[in-house]
Structure 1
Amino acid sequence: MRFLALALTVLPILTAAPPAVPKNLRVDGFVPYYWQEAEGKLWLEVGRWGQDFLYYTSLPAGIGSNDIGLDRGQLGGSFVARWERSGNKVLLVAANTDYRADSRDPAERQAVKDSFAESVIWGFEAAVQDDGRVLVDATAFFLRDAHGIGETLQAQKQGSYHLDSSRSAFYLARTKNFPKNTEVEATITFTGGPAGRFLRSVTPTGGAVTVRMHHSFVELPDLTFQKREFDPRSGFFDMTYVDYATPVSEPVARHFTPRHRLEKKDPTAAVSEAVKPIVYYLDPGAPEPIRGALLEGARWWSQAFEAAGYRNAFRVEMLPEGADPMDVRYNVIQWVHRSTRGWSYGSSVSDPRTGEILKGHVTLGSLRVRQDFLIAESLLAPYATAGTDPRMLEMSLARLRQLAAHEVGHTLGLGHNYIASAHDRASVMDYPHPWVTLKNGQPDLSDAYAKGIGEWDKVAITWGYSQFNPGTDEKKALNGIIDAARQRGLTFLTDQDARPAGSAHPETHLWDSGANAVDELNRWMGVRAAALARFGENNIRTGAPLALLEDVLVPLYLSHRYQVEAAVKSVAGLRYSYTLRGDGQTPTQIVAAAEQRRALEAVLATIQPEVLTLPEAVIKLIPPRPAGFDRTRELFRHRTGLTFDPVAAAESAADMTIDLVVNPQRAARLVEYHARDAALPGLAEVLDRLFAVTWKVPEKPGLAGEVQHAVQYVALRNVMNLAVDDEASGQVRAVTLLEIRKLKNWLRARPGSANAAFGLSEIAAFEKDPKQMKLPKAPEPPPGMPIGMAALSCDWE
C-alpha cells in the first residue's frame, strides 16, 4: 500500500473507466498500469529491471489500400527488450539479437554486447519510486507513431503527414492486462497532405487519417525450447544470427528454423497426443460460406501433423467473443478488407533467441473469392440462363480453402515451394493456377484446385516438428526424412528461384501447372482458345453494362501469361537443387537443346496474330464505359480514346512475352551455354527466330495485320532495349547489335512496305544515338499477380 499511497500523490484523481478497465486504481498484470481518466493518461509500473521480455507493435485498424500497405492486423517490429534505470531516467532498451555469444562466460557475452549498438526505444521519467518499483507516465510512448505510418505515407507518395496528438487517445476496449502479457491500444490520427489518390480513395477526408496502434509487452518463454538447425532443403524459413562464441573452425553464422513449440505427451510413442496443441482462431468477420471454407482449408494441416506423429495436435476454432486478435495468446486468421486487390500473407511473432513461434497471424484479403469468381465467369460464359452457375462459387471456395492452408503454413514456419506444381500439386505452399480441362469442348473447373494438404507439406512438417526418442541421432533422422522424400520426387525450391524474370529453373514458378511447363502452355492455349470462342454476352449478368465485358475479358485474354513465364525458363534453363555435399543430388544440369528449342517455339506461338487477334463479334460488343463505371488499372490501356482497343491489348500481351525472351540474364546464359556446348541454342539463334516469326513472315490482311505490325514493333524495341541494357554483358550487346543490323539489311530489300520503312527509321534513330533514343513502351498490361483481380475504386495513374 505504500507504493499506492505515493502514486496517489501523483495521481490525485483516478476515476472509473469503461468496462475494459477494472474499476480500481491499479490494473495488475505483466506490466501493471494505472489509467488516469481525468487527464487521459496511462502510467506504467516498472520493476523487472534488466529482465528480457518481448515488445512488439501492430496495426489493429488500418487504412484499407493494398498499394499503401497499412492493412488491418499488420504486425510491426518486435524486439527483445528490457527496462533499465539510471537516476530518475527509465529506458526501454531493445537488445541486438543479431550478434551474440552463446557462451556461459559473462565476459564473453558482454564483449559482444558492447561491440554492437543497441536501441533505446523510449526514455521515461520516474514520477514515483518505491521498493525498486517506478511509476512512469507512458502516455506519449503509446500515443506515438510506433508503426511508421507517416513514413509509409510519404514513401508511397500519399502526402506529408504528422501525428496530431489532439486527435489521438487511448482505445480502452483493447487495453488489457494479463499475467504474461500487457496489451495497450490507441487511436492515432495523422494530419497533413496533400493526400495522394490511394489515400483519398479510402479516407472520408484526406486531411486526417485515423488508425489504431497496438503495443504488446510479452513474457518470453523459457529457454528449454530446442533450436533446430536450418536445412535449406527442408521447406522452412531461416533465422540467422552471428555467434562469436563459435570455434574458429566453425562458421560464425548460425542458422535455425522457426517453429511452434509442440511436444508429445508420450515422447516414445510413434503417435501421441500433444502436451499443448497448436490452436488457430478464425476471425468471426468472415461470413458463410466463406467461413466454412476457411475453417476447412486451415484444418488441412492436421493431416500433416498426424503424418509427423501427433494426434489432435492442430486445431482451428472460431475466435472467442471479446478476444483481441492482436493478443499474443491467439494464433489468428483475419478476414481483411481493402478497396483494391491485394495479397494475403502469413506473419508471426517469434522469440528471436530460439525461433519459437509465439503467435501466428494470417491476413486473408476478402476480394480473393471475388477474384476467382471473375476467372470462372471468363471461362464458363455462365449466364446463358437465369441464376448463378454454382460451379463459379465452388471454384472460388476451393481456392479459399487452399489459400487458408497456404497462409497458415507460413505461420507454421514454411516458405513457398514453387516446384510443387511440377510434382502433381504436392504442396499448398505453391501458388496454384486453376487446373482447367476441356469437356465436350467447354472448360471444366471440377478439379480447379487441390483438395487437402500436399505430400510435400507432410514431409516438411515431419521434418520440422518430429520429436525423436532419446538417443536418436537427430541430424541423421532429419536427413533421412529429406532423402526419402527426394526418392519420391518431392523437393523444395522457393522465391529466389521462381520470382526473377530471368530465373532459370524450368520447373519452378508461380501460378504455373503441369509436370512440363512447355506441354502445359500448349495445352492451356487450347483451353484459352475454346473459352474465347464462346466469349460474349453470356459472360456477364443480364442487365449489366456491356462495357463490363472488358473486365471479364482481361483475365481470359491474358490467362496464358503465367504459363509463358514458366515455359520460357527452359530457354537457357538450368535444373538444380539445394545440394549439400554428400547428399547425392545432381548440382546442375542444363536443359537439353531440343527442349530449349521446343520451349522457344511454344512461347513464340503465343504472339502470333491468330492467337492475339480478338474475334470481330467480341470487339463489337464492348462499348465505352458508361457513367458510374470508371476505367481502372485492371483494364487494357487504350490508344483509341474511350473506345475498346484490340490492337493495344495484343501489343501488351506480346510485350509481356517478348520481354521474357530477351531478358538480359537469359541472354547472358544463352551466350554462356552455347559457348560451353555448341549444340545448345545461342542468343543469335533466339533473336533470329524472334525476328523470323514477327517480321519475316507474309503480311496478314485486316485487323490481324495491324496486330502483326504491333507485335513487330514490340519485338524490335525489346531487342533494342537489350542492346543498351546496362545489365547486359558486352557479348550480349554485341550479338544483339549484329542481329539488329541483319534485320535492317532485310528491311532495306522491301522498299514498298510502310511497315519496313517505319522499322528502318526506328533502327536509324537507334544507331545514331542508342542511349538517347526514347524507345516507346507498349501499353502496360493490367497487373497480374495475384491472379484474376478485380479493382473496386482505383482510377488510372
Structure 2
Amino acid sequence: MTGDDSSAPDFLDLVPDREGGPERLLLGIRRFDEPFLLTVSLSQGVGSSELWLDRGRAGKARLAEFRRANRRVLLVVLNKHFLTSGDAAAVRAGQESFAVSVVWSGPVLREEEGTVVVDATGLVLYDHDRVAGHLEDEGQGEYALDAATSLPLLADSRTGPAATRLPALLTFRGPGRGAALRAVAADPRAVSVVQQLNLLRLPESPLPARRYHPASGGYGIGYADHGLAGRADIQVKVQPRFRAEPGGAGVVFRVDPAIPEPFRTAVVEGGNWWREAFARTGLPDAYRVEAAGPDFDPYDPAVNGVVWVHRSGRGWSLGQGLTDPRTGEILHARVRLGSQRVDQVRALGEALLAPYGRPDEAERLAAVEELVLARLRLLAAHEIGHALGFMHNFASTRHPAPSVMDYPHPRVTVTDTGELDLAHAYATGLGPWDHFLVAHAYGHFADEERELAGLRRAAAEAGLVYVSDEDAQGTSAAHPDGVPWVTGGDALQALETVLRVRRIALEGFSRGVLPPGRQTGELEERAVLLHLLHRHEVTAVARLVGGVRYGYAQAGDDAPGGEPVDAGTQHTALNRLAALLRTDRLGLPQAVLDVITPPAIRYVRTDQYFDTGTGRLPDPFEAVRTAVTLVTRELLDPARLGRVAWQHAADPAMPGARDVVDALLEATWLSDEEHRAAEVPGRPGVRDTADWTVLNHLLTALDTPGLPAPVRATLKAALRALAVRLRERGGEQRVEAAELIASYLADPRSVRLDPLPRVPPGAPN
C-alpha cells in the first residue's frame, strides 16, 4: 500500500519482532495527538444475507489518535459528532465537554530514532466492528472473542505514507444455535472472520466543504460545533463528495475480476453511465469504471473497489464511501454486489416466460439472460451512485426518465397477441435527476450558494420530485409519489397493468418455469413470485389513501407545505384495493395447483415459499391469506388510519377510518354471493379464508400500539355493527364470526387470534 508520495515516511512502521516467541504485532509510532481515520472491514465474511457480515463489509469510520501516557500508548477514539471551532480556549472547552473512548493501550517496548515501538497485538485482536454484539442483536446468541484461536496476520499487514492495514483472524465462540449461523458456518460454535483494521491519514489540504441542502439528493453528514453558539446554527452538515478537479487524477472504480463474464462487462457498462453526467458538469475525465487486473486488492484504501460477494439467501447490495468527517470528502469507496441477485432476477424472468420445453425456448432464455444483464447494469450504476454520495430517490418513476437511484421493478408489457415481453424491462442510462445529482455535488461555481440554489429550483420546476428512504419505506410512509419497486408513475394504472401480467403468467404456469434439472419443489417458489407480483403496486395504491405530498426544503426556500391527496383519488384507490379481495384474485389457479409439489427429499422449504399448515404439501389456504394480507397490512396500518381519520375530520369528503373498514368488509363478509362466484379452484375455501383473514387483522389492529383512540373507537363500532349484520344474515360461519367479535370486544384475553400471515420476501429484485 503506497500513498501519493512514495518517498514520504510510512504512516506507521511494521517492526520485526527481534525476540521471537509468541507471534506479536509490533508497531512503530512517530505521530502522537494527530487525528486519523480508524476503519474496519471484513475480508473473510460470514455469508448470510440475514447477518450482513459479508466479505467487503466496511464499518463506520471513527476519528482517532495515538496518545503517549508514561510507558504506555493509548488509542483514543474522538467524538467526531462534536468538533468545536474557535481559538485554543474554545477548542479545549469542546474537547473537555464530551467523552472520548480509550479502546486500547499497549506497553512501550523501546524508542529508536524518534519512533516509539509498541506491542500492538491487542489492538488488532479486538472486536472493532462489534461482531459479537451484532450476532447477539440478530438473535444468534452470545458470542465472545476467543484469544486462543485469534491472531494477527503479520504477513498480510501493509503500511505506506497514507495508510496502514492490519488484518487479523478473529474467532468468536458461542452457543451455535442461531439458525442463520447454522445455515452458513462450518461450525456455528466457532465463527472465524478476517478483520482488516485500517488507519488512514487525513488530507493535509482539506477539500472545501459543500454545505448540505436537504433537496440536494446527497447524503448529509455533520457534527455539532458549539464554538458557533450564539453566532450561527451549531449543527454543521456537509455533502459528501470525492475530490474531482478539472485536469485532476479522477475518481476510478475498479471491478472485481471475481465477477464472471458477461456480468463483469455489464457492471463496467452500467457503472460508466455516470461519465456522461460528469462530462456535462465540465469534468469529462473526472470519473471512470474499469475492470481490475488479477492483482486486484479490494481492501486497499487507495482503491475504489466493486466487490463480488456471495451470500446465502436474498440480500442487498451496497455502496459506501469513507469520508473525512471535517469536510465530507470521500477518501475511499467500496461497492458490494451480491451474486445472488443474478439468480433472483433470473428466477423472476423464468417464472414470467416459462421458457423450458417451448418451441422458442432459445429466444425466451435469451430474453431472460438480457433481463439479468440489464438489471446488473442498473444495479452497478445504483450502488456506485451511493458510493459517489447520492441517496435513493423513490419518486423518479414520475420523472421523464427514471433515476438509477430508484429501486426498479421490471416493466413487463403485453404484446398484441397476449404474450409477455421483457424487452424494455429496465431503463438504460441516467435520468435527469442523476444529472442534477452530479451537478449539485461536483460542479464548480463562481457563486456557489446562488448557483446551487438555481440548480435546485430548476429541478423542481422540471417536476423532478425527490422522496428518499424515511419517507418511502414501510407501511406507515405517507408520501404517495415515493414508493420503491413500482413500475409506473400512475399507481392506479400500474396496478391494472401488473394484474394483467400476473394473470397471464399464472394461467400459463407450468414446469417450464424451472430448468429441467431442478427438483419440482422449487415450482412453488416461482408460483410465489407470480402470485405476489402486484405487491409493490398494492403499496403504491394504498399510499394514496391518507397520502400527503411534501418536499424537502429549508425555511428560507419558496416551497409548499404538505398537501393531502384529493378525495376522489383516495376513494378510487380504496375501491381498487378492496377489489383485490375478490376470489379470482386471491386463489392459486388450476395451472399452478396441478404442478406444484412438496420439496424433494434432501431439500427444504425456504422463506421464499408460503408457510404451510398442510404438512409437507403446499398450502392453498396460506396463498389466499398472504394475498389478503398484502391489502390489509397497508390499509390497517395505524399511521395510515390516523392520517385518514384526521383528513376526514378536516374535510368530510375525504374517506375516514370507517370507510376503510367498510370497504374491507363489503368486499368479504358483507359481499353479495353472486359477486364472489368466480370460477376458481376451491372457491368456498378461498371465500371463507379471505373473510376470516380480514376479521383477524381487524381485531389485531385494535391493540396495535400507536392506534389513535378515536380510530380504535371507530373500529370497535364497525365491528359491533358487523356482528349485528352477520347474525341477521345467518349461517354457521357468520354466526361464529359474530360470537368471536362479541367475545373479543368484551374481553380480548378470552380470544386467541391467529398471528398475521408471513409474506415471503419480495425484495431486493
TM-score of Structure 1 vs Structure 2, range by shorter chain: over 0.9
Question: Equivalent residue for 1:765?
Answer: 743
| Aligned ranges 1:721-760 → 2 under 5 Å | 721-751=700-730, 753-760=731-738
**Alpha-carbon separation, structure 1, partners of 2:522 and 2:229:** 67
Question: Equivalent residue for 1:780?
Answer: 758
**Alpha-carbon separation, structure 2, partners of 1:43 and 1:169:** 13
Structure 2 unaligned blocks of 5 or more: 3-7
Question: Equivalent residue for 1:80?
Answer: 63
Q: 1:445 to 1:660 in 2, by over 3 A?
A: same
1:536-589 deviation line (CA, Å, top 9, x unaligned): 122122354333211111111101011101110101111111133454332221
**Alpha-carbon separation, structure 1, partners of 2:136 and 2:654:** 49
Task: Answer yes or no: is 1:231 the counterpart of 2:205.
Answer: no
Q: Which of 574, 597, 600 is matched with 2:548 structurally?
A: 574
Letter in 2 for 1:786: P
Deviation at 1:140, TM superposition (A): 1.9
Q: 1:573 to 1:113 in 2, by over 3 A?
A: same
Question: Equivalent residue for 1:268?
Answer: none
**Alpha-carbon separation, structure 2, partners of 1:575 and 1:501:** 16
**Alpha-carbon separation, structure 2, partners of 1:302 and 1:776:** 54
1:492-539 deviation line (CA, Å, top 9, x unaligned): 110111013121111111101211111111221111111111111221
Task: Answer yes or no: is 1:213 the counterpart of 2:195.
Answer: yes
**Alpha-carbon separation, structure 2, partners of 1:710 and 1:499:** 29
Task: Answer yes or no: is 1:422 the counterpart of 2:398.
Answer: yes
Question: Equivalent residue for 2:5?
Answer: none
Question: Equivalent residue for 1:606?
Answer: 580
Q: Which of 451, 465, 471 is matched with 2:442 structurally?
A: 465
Q: Which of 623, 628, 652 is matched with 1:649 structurally?
A: 623
Deviation at 1:185, TM superposition (A): 0.9
Question: Equivalent residue for 1:204?
Answer: 186
Letter in 2 for 1:153: L
Task: Answer yes or no: is 1:56 the counterpart of 2:39.
Answer: yes
Deviation at 1:323, TM superposition (A): 4.1
- Contact 2:15/2:117 (CA < 8 Å) preserved in 1? no
**SS of the counterpart of 1:737?**
helix
- Contact 1:579/1:586 (CA < 8 Å) preserved in 2? no
**Alpha-carbon separation, structure 1, partners of 2:583 and 2:762:** 22
Percent of paired sites with the same residue: 35
- Contact 2:176/2:182 (CA < 8 Å) preserved in 1? no
Deviates more, 1:527-536 or 1:420-429: 420-429
**SS of the counterpart of 2:594?**
helix
- Contact 1:381/1:540 (CA < 8 Å) preserved in 2? yes
Question: Equivalent residue for 1:393?
Answer: 369
Letter in 1 for 2:598: P
TM-score, with normalisation over the residues of structure 1?
0.91
Deviation at 1:161, TM superposition (A): 2.6
Name segments (4+ residues, structure 1) moved above 6 Å: none
Q: Which of 38, 46, 63 is matched with 2:29 structurally?
A: 46
Q: Which of 450, 456, 474 is matched with 1:500 structurally?
A: 474
Q: Which of 101, 106, 115 is matched with 2:88 structurally?
A: 106
Structure 1 unaligned blocks of 5 or more: 1-19, 22-26, 265-273, 788-797
**SS of the counterpart of 2:58?**
strand
Q: 1:82 to 1:579 in 2, by over 3 A?
A: closer
Deviation at 1:93, TM superposition (A): 1.2
Letter in 1 for 2:350: E
Task: Answer yes or no: is 1:688 the counterpart of 2:693.
Answer: no
CA RMSD between the two structures = 1.9
- Contact 2:527/2:592 (CA < 8 Å) preserved in 1? no
Q: Which of 115, 119, 134 is matched with 1:133 structurally?
A: 115
Task: Answer yes or no: is 1:715 the counterpart of 2:694.
Answer: yes
Letter in 1 for 2:399: H
Deviation at 1:424, TM superposition (A): 4.1
Deviation at 1:96, TM superposition (A): 1.4
- Contact 1:62/1:73 (CA < 8 Å) preserved in 2? yes
- Contact 2:398/2:465 (CA < 8 Å) preserved in 1? no
Task: Answer yes or no: is 1:363 the counterpart of 2:345.
Answer: no
| Aligned ranges 1:247-326 → 2 under 5 Å | 247-264=229-246, 274-326=247-299
Deviation at 1:183, TM superposition (A): 1.1
Count of residue pairs the alignment pairs up: 749
**Alpha-carbon separation, structure 1, partners of 2:101 and 2:67:** 12
**Alpha-carbon separation, structure 2, partners of 1:571 and 1:253:** 36
- Contact 2:172/2:192 (CA < 8 Å) preserved in 1? yes
**SS of the counterpart of 2:170?**
strand
**Alpha-carbon separation, structure 2, partners of 1:424 and 1:375:** 27
Letter in 2 for 1:110: R
**SS of the counterpart of 1:414?**
coil
**SS of the counterpart of 2:755?**
coil
1:299-324 deviation line (CA, Å, top 9, x unaligned): 11111111211112111123344343
Q: Which of 655, 664, 685 is matched with 1:706 structurally?
A: 685
Q: 1:773 to 1:727 in 2, by over 3 A?
A: farther
**SS of the counterpart of 1:311?**
coil
**Alpha-carbon separation, structure 2, partners of 1:393 and 1:363:** 22
- Contact 1:35/1:41 (CA < 8 Å) preserved in 2? no
**SS of the counterpart of 2:705?**
coil
**Alpha-carbon separation, structure 2, partners of 1:241 and 1:543:** 56
1:120-164 deviation line (CA, Å, top 9, x unaligned): 121111111245431101112112222222222222222333222
**Alpha-carbon separation, structure 2, partners of 1:683 and 1:758:** 25
Deviates more, 1:611-620 or 1:254-263: 611-620
Letter in 2 for 1:101: T
Q: 1:396 to 1:99 in 2, by over 3 A?
A: same
Question: Equivalent residue for 1:144?
Answer: 126
- Contact 1:223/1:354 (CA < 8 Å) preserved in 2? no
Deviation at 1:765, TM superposition (A): 2.2
**SS of the counterpart of 1:77?**
coil
| Aligned ranges 1:524-563 → 2 under 5 Å | 524-563=498-537
Question: Equivalent residue for 1:24?
Answer: none
Letter in 2 for 1:444: D
Q: Which of 52, 62, 69 is matched with 1:69 structurally?
A: 52
**Alpha-carbon separation, structure 2, partners of 1:573 and 1:87:** 63
Q: 1:126 to 1:545 in 2, by over 3 A?
A: closer
**Alpha-carbon separation, structure 1, partners of 2:586 and 2:232:** 58
Letter in 1 for 2:733: N
**Alpha-carbon separation, structure 2, partners of 1:83 and 1:541:** 58
Deviates more, 1:483-492 or 1:142-151: 142-151
**Alpha-carbon separation, structure 2, partners of 1:116 and 1:146:** 21
**Alpha-carbon separation, structure 2, partners of 1:363 and 1:79:** 21
1:675-719 deviation line (CA, Å, top 9, x unaligned): 111111111122112111111113456612211111111111222
- Contact 1:418/1:508 (CA < 8 Å) preserved in 2? yes
Deviates more, 1:563-572 or 1:48-57: 48-57
- Contact 1:424/1:514 (CA < 8 Å) preserved in 2? no
Q: 1:124 to 1:315 in 2, by over 3 A?
A: same
Letter in 2 for 1:651: R
Q: 1:540 to 1:194 in 2, by over 3 A?
A: closer
**Alpha-carbon separation, structure 2, partners of 1:249 and 1:313:** 37
Deviation at 1:215, TM superposition (A): 1.1
**Alpha-carbon separation, structure 1, partners of 2:602 and 2:224:** 58
Letter in 2 for 1:739: A
**Alpha-carbon separation, structure 2, partners of 1:237 and 1:247:** 25
Q: 1:389 to 1:322 in 2, by over 3 A?
A: closer
Letter in 2 for 1:30: F
- Contact 1:343/1:786 (CA < 8 Å) preserved in 2? yes
TM-score, with normalisation over the residues of structure 2?
0.95
Q: Which of 417, 425, 429 is matched with 1:452 structurally?
A: 429
